[in-house]
A = this chain, B = another copy of it.
Amino acid sequence: MNAFSVKGNVLYSTSMDKISAFPHHYLVCEDGICQGIFEKLPEKYKELILYDYGNRLIIPGLTDLHIHAPQFAFRGMGMDLELLDWLDQQAFPEEAKYEEEAYARKAYTIFADALKKSATTRAVIFATRHEKATELLMDLLEDTGLITYVGKINMDQSAPEGLKEPSAADSAFRTFGWMNHISGKYRYTRPILTPRFIPSCSRELLEELRQVRMTYDLPVQSHLSENPEEIELVKNMFPEAKFYGDCYDRYDLFGNRPDGEFKFTGRTVMAHCVYSTDEEAELIRRNGVIVAHCPASNMNLSSGIAPIRKYLDMGIRVGLGSDVAGGQTESMFRAMTDAIQVSKMYWRLVDKKAKPLTFEEAFYMATVGGGWFFGNVGRFEEGYAFDALVLNDERLAHPQQLSLNQRLERFVYLGGDLFGIEAKYVAGRNIV
């Protein structure tokens, strides 16, 4: 058994509205699992190694529910475009390069290194449609110690020749090949089924992906109702669907139908949901789909603002995504504050009944909210994974006394993940 304790100023969400602070408390980890939080270390743990982080802040690790590894190379560039033009001019040309192994290795090494150093402990990741490059990405991520889901993209239409797959059957065949090749290969890195988005997928492909999902009980990630033009496109392509999300649901790629024949254990995450109708939101809720809210991306690509308050009120699960490179940065701290800021604009400009998100709620979404996709993740409670960030905020001088909650809010707003992550535990392993 691998066990230890850490000491410091611990903060975590004890509810969606409250970040509880535990000054100079102990956390105990056994085999990657949190054994609880203690003001005084219980007798039975006194012999464990203790890592004393003094006056540092200790918070749960953060989950990035939506990030595109191959787009990391052009993050923060070419931002003045809308979604469909941006895909054509930025994303697709870059992703086509991952056919070549040498380029993929160079680019993915940079990505994996950045993600390792970030505040993210767990992530749900899009690769490209290339199964070899995807496996290479998984190899590199496995070495970081992060816990991730990685998806080889499926797309058989509406993309340039060479980037889109030649047929639905070919796409499925390559997905089976990828799944078989990586079987049993990784401890921390898991596959996820990844239809790019509905405009990229023929009905035949969606039917094939249903079969893939049934075969492996895979989790699913995709995009949903991100941009008005995209939604119009989907409407024209899929006149038989009731709404965008229904296109996925018809092929068992949208969470778990309560009345479905097959009970999937693999969960589904849908990124964006900026324009989900009440009917679509209700299906999200009913099928237990989690929403990956990506506020930076939704600003950069002029998509709009997702009605997160409505989703929360409905009981829909919501986590945060950086959506690099629609979002410019992998910083999940930034995703938190962006989520708060856009919710204020939504309240002011769209719906005065949609109360802005609080810091506490954004923090909850980045820890517990997204963590749910991986199981018991995001809290320092017994039985939860021991994912923790040790934060050093000494660089942020201040003249007055600050509470632990104030220190945390300030550190997040000022992007402390860029300079102040002193240790990062993923399931009990300190990886930085």
Contact B328 A399 (CB under 8 A): no
In the bound assembly, the distance between CA atoms of A358 and B106 in angstroms comes to: 31
From A142-150, A300-308, A384-392, give the one contacting chain B.
A300-308
* Identical copies of this chain, number: 2
- Determine how close the nearest CB of chain B comes to the CB of A167; give it in whole angstroms: 30
Instruction: Verify A345–B344 contact, CB threshold 8 A.
Output: no
Contact residues in B for A419 (Cβ distance below 8 Å): 418-419
Asked if A181 lies at the interface with its beta carbon under 8 angstroms from chain B, I say no
Contacts of A412 in B (CB 8 A): 76
Q: Within 8 Å of chain B (Cβ to Cβ): is A51?
A: no
> CB of A233 within 8 A of chain B?
no
Residues of B within 8 A of A110 (CB): 397-399
Contact B349 A409 (CB under 8 A): no
Set of chain B residues within 8 Å of A78, measured between Cβ atoms = 406, 409
Q: With A328-B414, A344-B300, A399-B110 given, is the CB distance from A356 to B80 under 8 Å? A: yes
Q: Which of B114, B305, B350, B359 contacts A79 (CB 8 A)?
A: B359
Whether the Cβ atoms of B349 and A304 lie closer than 8 Å is yes
**Residues on B with beta carbons closer than 8 Å to the beta carbon of A400:** 73-74, 94, 97, 107
- Out of B302, B304, B347, B418, name the residue touching A415 (CB < 8 Å): B418
> Residue-by-residue, is A347-362 near B (CB-CB < 8 Å gives 1, otherwise 0)?
1111000001011000
- Of all chain B residues, the one with the shortest Cβ separation from A302 is B344
Complex interface bits, A62-93 against B, C-beta within 8 A gives 1, otherwise 0 = 00000000000111111110000000000000
Q: How many Å from the CB of A103 to the closest CB on chain B?
A: 6
Cα–Cα distance between A27 and B107 once the two chains are bound (Å): 35
A residues 321-340 in Cβ contact with B at 8 Å: 328-329, 337, 340
Per-residue contact bits, chain A 399-417, to B (CB 8 Å; 1 contact, 0 not): 1101000100111111100
CB closest residue in chain B, given A305: B345
CB atoms of B349 and A413 under 8 A apart: no
| Cβ-neighbour of A359 out of B80, B114, B305, B399 (below 8 A) | B80
Q: List B contacts of A299 (CB < 8 A).
A: 341-342, 344-345
- Minimum-distance CB pairs A-B, first 8: A76-B413, A107-B399, A76-B410, A299-B341, A302-B344, A328-B413, A106-B399, A110-B397
25 cross-chain CB contacts under 8 A = A75-B413, A76-B410, A76-B411, A76-B412, A76-B413, A77-B402, A78-B409, A79-B359, A79-B413, A80-B356, A80-B358, A80-B359, A94-B400, A106-B399, A107-B400, A299-B342, A300-B341, A300-B344, A302-B356, A305-B349, A328-B413, A345-B345, A415-B418, A418-B418, A418-B419
